[in-house]
Amino acid sequence: MTQIILTLFNGLSLGSILLLIALGLAITFGLMNVINMAHGELIMIGAYVTYVMQNLFLNYAPQQYFDLYFILSIPIALLIAAGVGMILEFSLIRFLYRRPLDSLLATWGVGLMLQQLARSIFGAPNVGVQSPSFLNGGLEVGTLLFPYSRLFIIGLSIVCLVSIYYYFYRTSSGRRVRAVMQNRQMAECLGVSTRKVDLITFAIGSGFAGVAGCALTLLGAIGPTIGTNYIIDAFMVVVVGGVGALFGAVAGALGIGFFNTVFEYVTNASLGKVLIFLLIIAFLQWRPSGLVTSRSRSLD
């Protein structure tokens, strides 16, 4: 019984991590159809922002306020990653909207450049980020221990999901984004400035990559290549979930998270990974467009 609960919890925890790293990509790739290979590096930027914030607090802030660095890092990582995303969109991606292969290569190049930049600034070895004290330890229920850091990531991914949902479905700016993604030309004819919408949407997707990077510092050391470790998972979640569907990304992340944990529990880490890839390949044969597909009455 405890083993089952623990496996379920680990699955949920892994799923929430996957969701967090895939949310930004669900926007840039899922909604805008931009294959952004530099998405992992935007995650990396978020992680390094957290590292820098930690150092600033270590050096300049009184000891008792140290824990605040992490809380502050989240919005700052969001803003900085969104800013970098905005520069990327304005200087490169807007020229490549109808050329997916070119954008794949170009953004991969940008990713390599950002990695090298991180190496030049912070050095090649991984650096550690000290978790804030309130996330040390865990919640004990009977004989089970749920680490606070994992619970925090689950909570953070829910907060991110709710705020993205709120933005897209409850604000006028989000409505403009949806209109443009559904029918760009008509939105433009109705007075929506599609250029501005593209810029903002890409910035938001990038910003959430930054938040994911911030959360990843709770799980281990960070380095210049941290993004490459996660980019495959992120694309996997979006493709399995169904391109263009936010709800699909949630289902995809949780599904992959659970199956991965279960497979690893009954076999071992590497075989578990193999099994999950096999499962995804089989799944995509059955539903090539992912879990959630958007269909509507065909128009004449």
Partner 1 sequence: MLKLQELEAGYDESMVIRDIDLQVKDNQVVCIMGRNGVGKTTLLKTIMGILPPKKGKVIYMDTDITKKRPSHRAKQGIGYVPQGREIFPKLTVYENLLVGLEAGTEKKIKEDVYTYFPILKDFKKRNGGDLSGGQQQQLAIARALVANPSFLLLDEPTEGIQPNIVQEIQEVILDIKRTSQTSMILVEQDLEFVKNVADYIYVIDHGSVVYEKAVDEINDDEVYHYLSV
Using CB under 8 A, list all residues that contact partner 1: 172, 175-176, 178-179, 182-183, 185-194, 294, 296-297, 299-300
- When the beta carbons of 178 and 273 are compared against partner 1, the nearer one is 178
Instruction: Count CA atoms closer than 13 A to 206's CA, side-chain side.
Output: 29
- When the beta carbons of 7 and 194 are compared against partner 1, the nearer one is 194
CB of 195 to partner 1, least distance (A): 9
Distance (Å, whole) CA 246 – CA 216: 21
With contact defined as beta carbons under 8 Å apart, do 208 and 222 qualify? no
Q: Phi and psi dihedrals of 145, rounded to 5? A: -125, 120
CB of 282 to partner 1, least distance (A): 29
Residue 153 CA from chain centroid, whole number = 12
Tell me the one-letter amino acid at 244.
Answer: G
- When the beta carbons of 82 and 246 are compared against partner 1, the nearer one is 246
Q: List residues bridging with 144 in a β-sheet.
A: 141
72-95 as b/e: b if 16+ CB within 10 A = ebbebbbebbbebbbebbeebbee
- When the beta carbons of 125 and 191 are compared against partner 1, the nearer one is 191
CB of 193 to partner 1, least distance (A): 5
* Residue-wise DSSP of 195-227: HHHHHHHHHHHHHHHHHHHHHHTTTS-B-TTHH
The three-class DSSP label of residue 295 is: coil
With contact defined as beta carbons under 8 Å apart, do 194 and 188 qualify? yes
CB of 89 to partner 1, least distance (A): 18
- When the beta carbons of 55 and 183 are compared against partner 1, the nearer one is 183
Nearest in space to 107 (alpha carbons), one of 42, 204, 44: 42
Residue whose structure tokens are 């029918």: 183
CB of 172 to partner 1, least distance (A): 7
With contact defined as beta carbons under 8 Å apart, do 34 and 292 qualify? no
CB of 190 to partner 1, least distance (A): 6
CB of 34 to partner 1, least distance (A): 19
- When the beta carbons of 194 and 289 are compared against partner 1, the nearer one is 194
With contact defined as beta carbons under 8 Å apart, do 45 and 230 qualify? no
- When the beta carbons of 192 and 279 are compared against partner 1, the nearer one is 192
